[in-house]
Structure 1
């Protein structure tokens, strides 16, 4: 992860320097100096020899496996939550067409005095 971050920061530094050089020459910005110092301090170094991972590598591997498992679990949980939201989503209420509304209103107003059906009807 660190080499990727280091390369991204180096690219940012290069682009900022190229932009600055294309503009007028000014003294170096303090933020660029801070970024340069940070890049020098965080420069990746090989902690382990070329022989193998050793004890340090196994510790890193265990931590990486634990983080990977946590990521898988949280991703699975998020997918299941989205799945339940999708299944629980209710359709929006749809109105009747104008013609159906007209027929229902006519029936309602014609039977307003006698709302319940009788034996004669």
Structure 2
């Protein structure tokens, strides 16, 4: 949950957190209860979920799947684990924090497996 004034502010906060501030229009998805407008992959599904929870709005990363070097191709769980195993130092620590601090709503097989290994 973000403590922000509106969806626009949430977009900015998420973009900064995810280091995608220069590609906001493409890489951040959103739904706004005020005007019912939305943008991004799975927007209608996210809107339905948000309405059930009586949320004012939602922002999410709208990035294509895959590693930065191969966007658009979904990696296997084994590839994700192998990639994670190669990380070192501060990069590894950032990755660990990212996985462990994921909100409970982000419940994917990838995150569960990585969290168990941590």
Q: TM-score range by the shorter chain?
A: under 0.3
TM-score by length of 2: 0.17
Choose between structure 1 and 2: higher helix proportion: 1
Q: Specify which structure has the higher proportion of strand.
A: 2
Which is higher, the Rg of structure 1 or of structure 2?
1
TM-score between the two structures when normalised by the length of structure 1: 0.17
